[in-house]
Amino acid sequence: MYSLKTLLTSGIGRKLINWATAVGLFGFVVMHLLGNLTLFANDDGTAFNAYAAALHSLGPAFYLIEIGLLLLFVFHIYSGITMWRQNRAARPQKYVAGQKSKNGPSHYNLSSTKMAISGIAIAAFVIIHVAQFRFQLFTSDVEQYALEGGGLDLYALVADVFSNPGWVAFYCGAILFLGWHLRHGVWSMVHSIGSMNRGGGKTSYAVAAVIGLLLALGFFVLPIYLYVGSL
């Protein structure tokens, strides 16, 4: 039986943690996108505010979900960084440009540095994003977003933020990193459970790329849509 310490320190344990947290985070990204799509539902944001209010009305369960989500991020980042360092230590020499193995380039090794770079960018984005929308830390007058019947007009806050082209550029830039991360991440997630046969490498990488692209595209159009609406 694995202890938590063995899981955190052994190579296989870290891979397992990285995979399991990736599955959880992937689920969150899909759910978050579906929830955010209610921003398109109507111009006064009632659908989006109702969705946010329904989540907050879960009370203690909502906070438990948030803690779970935070743990998913922390363990994913920890296992990702230690695996990346392990990879670098095992292969100190860089790949020769254009080098190919019998079955084509190894997506795992070639992408691990890209995953680390895009992962760090996403982590930085999430910290700023959560401070901005979940805790309204960049809003000096939160009272202006108070709804008459109580609660927060989250739609108005999101629409105000995305009326600023600087924020739109920041979000769109971060989402490009997300698409990049998901492209390899989704492939790796499926590959790890062995559902890919040896010959299907290229096809499953293309399918993963399309899934990553669709998710990123969904997040990408939201700030642009709200910016155009604010003109």
- What mask of x and - would describe binding to ligand HEM in positions 131 to 170, judged by CB under 6 A? --xx-------------------x---x------------
202 binds ligand HEM (CB under 6 A): no
180 binds ligand HEM (CB under 6 A): no
115 binds ligand HEM (CB under 6 A): no
Q: How many residues bind ligand HEM (CB under 6 A)?
A: 21
40 three-state secondary structure: helix
Candidate list 8, 120, 121, 130; residue touching ligand HEM; CB under 6 A: 130
**Least separation in angstroms between CB 56 and ligand HEM:** 6
Helical residues (DSSP H) of 37-130, grouped into ranges: 46-56, 60-90, 107-129
| Residues in contact with 198: Cβ distance below 8 Å, sequence separation at least 6, in sequence order | 103
CA distances (Å), origin 46, targets 40, 49, 152, 164, 196: 11, 5, 11, 22, 43
Q: Own/partner pairs for 99-104, CB < 8 Å, 24+ apart?
A: 103/198, 103/201, 104/201, 104/202
Contact positions toward ligand HEM, by CB under 6 A?
Answer: 29, 32, 36, 52, 55, 66, 69, 122, 126, 129-130, 133-134, 154, 158, 171, 175, 178, 219, 222-223
